[in-house]
Amino acid sequence: MGRLAVGVAVGVAVATCAVAGVVVGRRLRSRRKWRRVVGVLRELEDSCETPVGRLKQVVDAMAVEMHAGLASEGGSKLKMLLTFVDRLPTGSEIGTYYALDLGGTNFRVLRVQLGGTRSSILSKDVKRQRIPEHLMTSTSEDLFDFITSKLKQFVEQEETVSEAAQSRTRELGFTFSFPVKQISIRSGFLIRWNKGFAIEDMIGCEIVERLQGALMKKGLDMWATVLVNDTVGILALGHYYDADTVAAVKIGTGTNACYMERADAIIKCQGLLTSSGGMVVNMEWGNFWSSHLPRTTYDIDMDLESPNPNDQGFEKMISGMYLGDIVRRVILRMCEESDIFGPVSSKLLTPFVLEMPLMAAMHEDESPDLKEVAAILRETLEIQDVPLKARRLVVKVCDVVTRRAARLAAAGIVGILKKIGRDGTGGITGSRSKSDAKMRRTVVAVEGSLYTSYMMFREYLHEALNEILGEDVAQHVVLRTTEDGSCVGAALLAALHSSSSSSSSSDGLHRRQ
How far is it, in rounded angstroms, from Cα 406 to Cα 451? 9
Say how far residue 191 (Cα) sits from the centre of its chain. Answer: 20
Q: What is the DSSP string of 132-179?
A: PGGGGGS-HHHHHHHHHHHHHHHHHHHS-HHHHH--SPEEEEEEE-S-
Q: Supply the minimum distance, in Å, between the C-beta of residue 252 and ligand ADP.
A: 2
- Among residues 248, 267, 244, which one has the least CA distance to residue 257? 248
**CA 362 → CA 160, 392, 405, 456, 503, distances in Å?**
48, 10, 16, 11, 51
Identity at 105, one-letter amino acid code: T
Among 140, 229, 245, 253, binds ligand ADP (CB under 6 A): 253
Q: Supply the minimum distance, in Å, between the C-beta of residue 323 and ligand ADP.
A: 8
Which residue's Cβ has the minimum distance to ligand ADP?
252
- Among residues 273, 278, 211, which one has the least CA distance to residue 490? 211
Among 129, 149, 345, 449, binds ligand ADP (CB under 6 A): 449
Q: Identify which of residues 104 and 324 has a Cβ nearer to Mg ion in the complex.
A: 104
Q: Supply the minimum distance, in Å, between the C-beta of residue 92 and ligand ADP.
A: 29
Which residues face 81 on adjacent strands? 282
Q: How many CB atoms lie within 10 A of CB 5?
A: 9
Q: Are 224 and 211 contacting, i.e. CB atoms less than 8 angstroms apart?
A: yes
Q: Supply the minimum distance, in Å, between the C-beta of residue 485 and Mg ion.
A: 10
The footprint of ligand ADP on residues 12-51 (CB under 6 A) is none
Q: Is 497 helix (H, G, I), strand (E, B) or coil?
A: coil
The footprint of ligand ADP on residues 429-448 (CB under 6 A) is 448
Q: How many residues can be counted in the chain?
A: 513
Contact track, ligand ADP, 302-321, x by CB under 6 A = ------------------xx
104 binds ligand ADP (CB under 6 A): yes
Backbone angles phi, psi at 419, to 5 degrees: -60, -35
Q: Are 298 and 329 contacting, i.e. CB atoms less than 8 angstroms apart?
A: yes
Binding site for Mg ion (CB under 5 A): 103-104
Residues 6+ apart with CB under 8 A from 46: none
461 binds, among ligand ADP, Mg ion, none (CB under 5 to 8 A by kind): none
Interface segment toward ligand ADP; rule CB under 6 A; list 206-214, 259-267, 414-422, 449-457 = 449-457
Identity at 310, one-letter amino acid code: N
301 binds ligand ADP (CB under 6 A): no
Q: Supply the minimum distance, in Å, between the C-beta of residue 452 and ligand ADP.
A: 7
- Among residues 295, 421, 411, which one has the least CA distance to residue 57? 411
Q: Supply the minimum distance, in Å, between the C-beta of residue 101 and ligand ADP.
A: 9
How many residues bind to ligand ADP according to rule CB under 6 A?
Answer: 14
Among 142, 244, 355, 382, binds ligand ADP (CB under 6 A): 355
355 binds, among Mg ion, ligand ADP, none (CB under 5 to 8 A by kind): ligand ADP
Residues 6+ apart with CB under 8 A from 102: 131, 147, 174, 175, 176, 177
453 binds, among ligand ADP, Mg ion, none (CB under 5 to 8 A by kind): ligand ADP
321 binds, among Mg ion, ligand ADP, none (CB under 5 to 8 A by kind): ligand ADP
454 binds, among Mg ion, ligand ADP, none (CB under 5 to 8 A by kind): ligand ADP
Among 63, 70, 356, 437, binds ligand ADP (CB under 6 A): 356
Among 98, 314, 341, 454, binds ligand ADP (CB under 6 A): 454
Binding footprint of ligand ADP on the chain (CB under 6 A): 104, 252-253, 320-321, 355-357, 360, 448-450, 453-454
